[in-house]
Copies of this chain bind each other. A is one copy, B any other.
Amino acid sequence: MKININEIAKKAGVSIATVSRALNSSGSVKPETRRRIQELAREYHYRPHPFARGLSKRKTDTIGVILPELNDEFFMDIIHGVDEEAYRANKYVMISSSHSRRDIIETLVEFMGSGRVDGMILMVPQLQNEVAELIRNSKRPVVLMNISRNIENVVSFNIDNYQGAFTIVEHLIQKHGYKNIGMILGPEGNWDAAERYRGFRDALAQYSIPLKENLIVQGSFTAQSGYYGFGRLMSQKEKPEAIFAANDMMAVGIYQAAREVNLSIPHDVAVVGFDDIYLSKLLTPRLTTMHVPIFELGSKAIRYLFKMIEDPETFKKPYREDLTTGLMIGRSCGCDNNNSQHNFF
């Protein structure tokens, strides 16, 4: 029933070594023999058992992807990018969320030590130092995503959150002349969030605008936190002219809240976000936001991982790449963008 290399060898009248060579195009085998073997393999739908082969070659042809959550367009895009490249390279992709509740590090060790994958792509918004330490001692290559600049001697691909935040805030200042700019922060301890905040502060500083503490409120990247954040900001005696939401989901919450209290965006208050999620194009007015190349993040990360797997040199070397983000102008910032109505096509 189960067809294996022995069967093929028997049918071809050769040894299993020859079969292996013929099918792997390694070593030299008479063309005529190779042809016959390949023929047989096709006929009987024979495929080398991946585990046996993996055991022998110390190679799994699989890469692991660990993401913090599995419930977001953001992560879906990463997976998409990874999958696409993996498919091209004939590799398999193992996905897992770090299941917040469990100790991420444990998941990690499990995965890597296990020999189930040749390498990993890893996104950990928290505990980055601990994880980095693990990775440096790892026998298998690991590519990190969106990691602090302070972390050295690892390989990482990142969204340039700092530059992005700087740019969009600069837009608010330069183009629209806003001075009172509020911000709804991302979750505490989250690196992306921290960088966006830093970009915000530096942009203000660049234009000599003092930072007003009470125009900065904590958020958590959820629509709900944006909703409440808006309420808090608009309750200050000196209301903001514009609000920078650290991500689009929170901007969505702002829209919802603004509608309830009958405030118009951008007339009463301008709003900008970050991420350029699909939804942002559908809001009225269309949200001004920073596009982040997430798909590309995924595909670049895995391509580099492949290189690390193949080439020990690359594996050894630290590397960091920060992908630039791009300003997407809607009307929520006050710009008069005509075709923002249906540019989702």
Q: Which residues of A contact B (CB under 8 A)?
A: 1, 45, 47, 49-52, 54-55, 60, 62, 70-73, 75-77, 79-80, 83-84, 86-87, 92-97, 99, 102, 109-110, 113-116, 139, 223-224, 227, 252, 255-256, 259-260, 278-279, 282-284, 341-342, 344-345
Contacts and interface: CB of A to CB of B under 8 A. Distances in A.
Contact of A51 (B45, B51, B224): B51
Given A87-B99, A279-B279, A47 B94 contact: no
B93 A96 contact: yes
Contact of A95 (B47, B84, B95): B95
B71 A76 contact: yes
Contact of A75 (B60, B72, B76): B76
Contacts of A259: 284, 341
Contacts of A52: 51, 55
A139 B116 CA distance: 23
Given A93-B95, A115-B50, A224 B83 contact: no
Contact of A223 (B47, B60, B79, B344): B344
Given A260-B341, A279-B279, 19 more contacts: A45-B109, A47-B113, A47-B114, A49-B55, A50-B114, A51-B115, A51-B116, A71-B77, A79-B79, A80-B97, A83-B95, A86-B96, A87-B97, A87-B99, A94-B95, A223-B345, A227-B342, A256-B282, A260-B342
